[in-house]
Structures are given as structure tokens and as C-alpha cells.
Copies of this chain bind each other. A is one copy, B any other.
């Protein structure tokens, strides 16, 4: 029985370790951007949904924002459409938009189904419902790339009302312009905008990036916690570069608009979200205002 008892005590310790985090973030909003491999691999998908559901049940108020990823491309092909490109960018013409919306809603309701199966009340909406996301047209170097939108405003009341009724909102990034045309939105942009609009305590990005490295070559140099000032230095000295620059700048923007902490997590690690939120060391990179918040 001794060995069993040790196992028991280890279990209890993990639960107890989570206590201060549950305490600290109780009834706070956390926006989870869900994308990358974690959306494709079925096992990882189940893990993410379990994690978010656990956050809900332990008192957090999570909102999921997701993309459609490769599924859109697959269906565009399936219906025999010819992709068009401008400046190397895919053009979202009316037909493409129609397929994209269908796929995003399908993915959306698939996530709803998974959350419901775990006994939690979910509701899947797009930026059309309650006119949640209003956009204007985005141009790429002045070129018209079709129905791709920049978020102009977020109707946060919709989300507050759904949270008050104890729903876990799952949002797909589609918006309406002033003439009520349908637009596709980058899921990262939607997550940033929503986190700012609802004054989220946390914004977590699940993607295929391990986090931020002090030296990208050195896999041991992953940074656990990064202040806004540090992040700016790392951009200046070139440690952060390429596609990571706009990402990090968005994180900085979110923090400067009232989000307390942005987490960059590797969605390929099972339960990365749970481990980042509920354990001492965390597992990805947390960007925060200043050292006092560490």
C-alpha cells in the first residue's frame, strides 16, 4: 500500500499546485486562439478541448477563437475551384468566401460538439451573430485581394451576455462590413481584437511555435517570461525576426490595451494550455507588462 499511497500523494500535490492559479484567475476571461497542428491531429484536438473545458469548470471564462486552416484549401479544391493569386496572395473572391464560411462553420460546430460531449454548455458563433465583428476591406500593398477584412470594432456585449448565461463561446473569424457583406478575417487578428474588447486577463496562442527563444539556434534558450521592454529589445537586436515580429508586436499591443498576459504555446505538446496555466514553471513563453507581474 505504501507505493499506492505515494502515487496518491503525488496526485494530490499536482491538484494543490494548481490551487493558487485557480484562485488568481477565478472568473477571469481567457481568450484561446486555437490553430496549427493541434487542430488537425485528432488526439491533440481532444486534449485542447479537455483543457479549455477544465478551465471553464474551474471557474475561468474561456472564449475560443479558431481558424479553419488547411480544411479550407481542401474544400476549395474539392468543389473544383481555381485559386487566384495577387502578389502571391490567395484572392478571396465571392465563391472562395462562400466555401471558407461553410468550412469555418463546420469546424466551429465540430468544436461545439466536442465541448458538449464533456458536459459543458458551448455555443458556436461567427462574427455575423449579433454583428460581433465589423470590418473594412484589407488591401495587400494596395491590391484588392477580395473579401479579406480588418476588424474595425468588436460588439463585446454579445460575448458578455453569452458568458453570463454560462456558455463557452466558440468564435470563427468571419465579419461584416458596413454593407453587411461577408469577410474572412485572420484568426490571430480576431483573437487579439476580442481579447482587447472583453478586457481578457489572458490571451493564449496555440500554434506550432515553441515560444520565443533568446537565441533561436539554441533550443535551451526558450524564454519563460518576457516583459514588453525585453521583447522590444529582442526585436531591436534581431533575436526576434521574420514572421515573429508582427506576432510579438500584436502581443505587445494586447498587453498595452489591458490584457495582463499573452501566452505563446506549442500546441503539439499535449495539454500545453493546462500546464502553462496551472503549473509553476509553465511550458511556453508568457509576455507580460513588467517584472512585477512575474
Contact = CB atoms under 8 A, between A and B. Distances in A.
Contact of A102 (B26, B105, B125): B105
Interface stretch (A186-194, A225-233, A268-276): A268-276
A98 to B, nearest CB: 7
B129 A271 contact: no
B116 A130 contact: yes
Given A129-B124, A130-B121, A12 B274 contact: yes
Interface in A249-289: 269-271, 274-275, 278-279, 283
Nearest to A181: B113
Give the interface size class of chain A. Answer: 35 or more
B57 A22 contact: yes
Contacts of A119: 20, 23-24
A14, A130, A274: most-surrounded residue (chain B CB, <10 A): A130
A237 interface: no
Contacts of A98: 106
A12 B275 contact: yes
Given A8-B275, A19-B50, A59-B58, A128 B117 contact: no
Contacts of A109: 101, 105, 126, 128-129, 174
Nearest to A161: B165
> How many copies are assembled?
6
A17, A54, A182: most-surrounded residue (chain B CB, <10 A): A54
A176 interface: yes
B54 A22 contact: yes
Nearest to A24: B119
Contacts of A22: 54, 57-58
20 contacts: A8-B269, A8-B279, A10-B14, A11-B17, A12-B274, A14-B14, A14-B15, A15-B18, A16-B50, A19-B53, A19-B118, A23-B57, A101-B106, A109-B174, A113-B176, A121-B131, A122-B129, A123-B125, A130-B167, A161-B167
Given A12-B270, A117-B180, 19 more contacts: A8-B283, A10-B14, A11-B17, A12-B274, A14-B14, A15-B274, A18-B54, A19-B53, A22-B54, A23-B120, A57-B58, A58-B59, A59-B59, A75-B79, A102-B103, A109-B174, A112-B129, A116-B131, A124-B129
